[in-house]
Amino acid sequence: MRGLRYALLLSATAVVPLAGQRPLTVTGIQSLTFGTLIPGIPSVVSRTDAVKSGRFDVGGPHDTQGRLTFTLPSVLTGPAGATLPLTFSGSDAGFSQSQNIGSQIGFDPKQPFLMTFSGQGRGSVFLGATARPAPTQRAGSYTGTITLNLTAFP
């Protein structure tokens, strides 16, 4: 019977974090927007730019950790398949437990980042980048998809 109680105790400990916790979520909130670019002139969007920076909101079990990884495009794609180079520096991403753009911990979006959910099980991720149109860049609209992956560590 002692073995039974021990096993039940172990199994109960393992399952408890599933109960009553926020589910893991990643929501794309705001696009990363460069606006109008002039051929040959790079354009930088800061992760602290409230209007142009990209933003994701994440949710999960409060006070637990998660690993963030990005899937980043190296180019934006435009008319007739034309490409516009896009680069990310070592501090172009930022995490805010308080979901405040003015209170971020910067990190390299090309590397995994270990985050901790707030006491309310929330957080926000902000992203900047640099677009580098060539002097002969074809005119038109360019787009790309940025994906944020969140893996939980209960």
Partner 1 sequence: MYTASKAALATLVLGLVATAAVRAQGVNGSITATATVQSPITVTGAQNLAFGNVFPGVAKTIAYSDATNGGRFDVTGQGSAAVTYSFTLPTNLTSSGNNLPIGSWTGYLNTANSTAGGSAITPSATPAGATLSAGGALYVFVGATVTPPSNLPAGSYTGTVTLTVSY
The amino acid present at 79, given as its one-letter code, is P
Q: Which of 26, 67, 35, 14 is nearest to 133 (CA)?
A: 35
Q: How far is CA 22 from CA 39, 56, 61, 96, 132, in A?
A: 46, 17, 5, 18, 40
| DSSP three-state, residue 109 | coil
* Least distance CB 105 / partner 1 (angstroms): 20
Window contacting partner 1 (CB under 8 A); options: 14-22, 91-99, 107-115, 116-124? 14-22
- Name which of residues 97 to 126 contact partner 1 (CB under 8 A): none
- Kindly report the backbone phi and psi dihedral angles of residue 13, in degrees, each rounded to the nearest multiple of 5, phi listed first: -60, -35
Window contacting partner 1 (CB under 8 A); options: 97-105, 106-114, 116-124, 142-150? 142-150
Residue with tokens 């705001």: 30
Question: Going residue by residue from 59 to 98, which x/- string records binding to partner 1, judged by CB under 8 A?
Answer: ------------x-x--x-x-----x-x------------
| Binding stretches for partner 1 (CB under 8 A) | 1, 3-4, 6-8, 10-15, 17-18, 24-40, 43, 54-56, 71, 73, 76, 78, 84, 86, 127, 129, 131, 133, 135-154
